[in-house]
Amino acid sequence: MRSNPLNKLLNKPPSVCVSHDEILDMPEPDYVVLPMDYTQRELYSWKVAIGDKVRQNQIIAKNSMGVCLHTPISGTVFDIKPIWSEGGIHIPAVCITRGEGDAVSVDEIFEQYGVNPKEATVDDQLKAMGIHPPWLPLSTSAVSEEHTPEAIENVVIVGFDEEPEINIQYNLLAQRLNDVLEGFSFLKTIMPNATQVLLADRNFCKQIKDQVPGEIQLKSISPNYSARLLDRNIPKYANIRFDHHRDYALQKTVVISIERLLVLTAAIKNSQPFTTKYLTVSNKMPSDHKMVLIHHGTSIRSILNFTEFSKYQPESIIAGGPMKGISQFNNLTPLTRSCDGLHLLGEKEITSGPGDHCTNCAACIRICPLNLQVHLIGRYVEFENFTSANEYHPEQCMECGLCSYVCPAQRPLVQFIKLANQYGNQKNEHKPQTQCSIESPLEEWDQHCSSSAAMADSPAASH
């Protein structure tokens, strides 16, 4: 009997680092590129102009919900033009070259935000520090006076990553357990009526069960991939009625990762803006992985050079993980708070190329947890017939990546579905991503910023 390749994945433990592995702290890059979107849902309006001098942690943009975006470095606004983000969104971005200047103070941040820090609500504090309050819906139109921290009934903290090659939450939980438990206590003061649940790897639960207070429900998670799909399994793990098609906040539930818990706690207790991100960089063959702390807007190329993963000369770079990630056409693409990992593939791991056609084998339909007609959505999107694709409800997809994994033609089915959701209600006037890569300003920005940094570091510049 032929073995099912899916079984190898579903029963494969995640490639986690052990708890004492070093987390590399990447220094400030020569420049950052900050796309004007928040987790690909809420667009920012920038508050700076080309040529402006900016200081580290200064607010440079704000979205319609009032959530701010800060520059992680001091310097000069070099340019503002559209780019392709790592999530496949064509969107304006602000390029800032590194320069001198002290970081702005907490009082200056609140002054920019327009609120007296002594009178700021918890919502104000989080938004001013660049964090969307998790008890608020992500859509501005859905927010009402009912959405308060006190109304939340369930808080679920996720101590694992869905993707097999990403290990951020496991490592942070292992290395910063005391900070995590302090975060739980802090959340209890904000959301006093909520039941608290901590989801963690099965083997790790055995190590920490005596350290976790009794009021926190510690739930162990199987190491296989299907058990780690959050939207599908949260009702079972948290023992709550839950519809994964609706916003968590609309169901009086908060679901955040260990990293986001630490960021949220630091924002309120220490007034620390959200300007850095933990990232797992992994290579398939030979197997290698590192965890690094980067500044928002750092390019993929800079990260690979710093971690020394550029030596693998990858044929394909996937932003995210092997299941849900998106292959990048440009290694100068900046990474933001939305990205948890970089996964590298060599030429031998890529067995197909563009142009492989659907064979109508129906493997994607059989494996889909939601029974979507994946192959039909993919075919319609392939020919830019987004109206017909939307008739098969691509918005129901939870982007688990199982369809792409079992596809014998290795078609980018998840990316097709994302395109259907992005362009389904718009006219088909978008440019192909390959065309935009030719027009992209990233190469120009990198050349300018790299040459400027080299001149600043030269002996002649110091005299």
Closest by Cα among 355, 326, 356, 318 to 418: 326
Ramachandran angles phi, psi of 106, nearest 5°: -60, -45
- pLDDT confidence of residue 285: 80
- pLDDT confidence of residue 432: 43
Residues of the chain with pLDDT under 50: 1-5, 15-19, 40, 427-438, 460-463
User: What are 231-277's pLDDT values in tens digits?
Assistant: 778 888 777 776 766 788 888 899 999 999 999 999 999 999 999 99
pTM for the full predicted model: 0.84
- pLDDT confidence of residue 426: 53
Peptide bond into 137 cis (omega under 30): no
- pLDDT confidence of residue 13: 52
- CA 12 to chain CA centroid, Å, is 23
- Can you give the residue ranges of every domain in the chain? 27-128, 140-270, 363-423
- Percent of the chain predicted with pLDDT > 90: 49
3-state SS string for the chain: CCCCHHHHHHCCCCCCCCCCCCEEECCCCCEEEEECEECCCEEEEECCCCCCEECCCCEEEEECCCCEEECCCCEEEEEEEEEECCCCCEEEEEEEEECCCCCCCHHHHHHHHCCCCCCCCHHHHHHHCCCCCCCCCCCHHHCCCCCCHHHCCEEEEECCCCCCCCCHHHHHHHHCHHHHHHHHHHHHHHCCCCEEEEEEEHHHHHHHCCCCCCCEEEEEECCCHHHHCHHHHHHHHHCCCCCCCCCHHHHCEEEEEHHHHHHHHHHHHHCCCCCEEEEEEEECCCCEEEEEEEECCEEHHHHHHHHCHHHHCCCEEEECCCCCCEECCCCCCEECCCCCEEEEECHHHCCCCCCCCCCCCCHHHHHCCCCCCHHHHHHHHHCCCHHHHHCCCHHHCCCCCHHHHHCCCCCCHHHHHHHHHHHCCCCCCCCCHHHHHHHCCHHHHHHHHHHHHHHHHCHHHHC
User: What are 358-405's pLDDT values in tens digits?
Assistant: 888 889 999 998 889 999 999 888 888 888 898 899 988 888 888 988
Class of the CATH-defined domain 140-270: alpha beta
- pLDDT confidence of residue 257: 95
Q: How many CA atoms lie within 13 A of 248 on its CB side?
A: 20
- pLDDT confidence of residue 353: 52
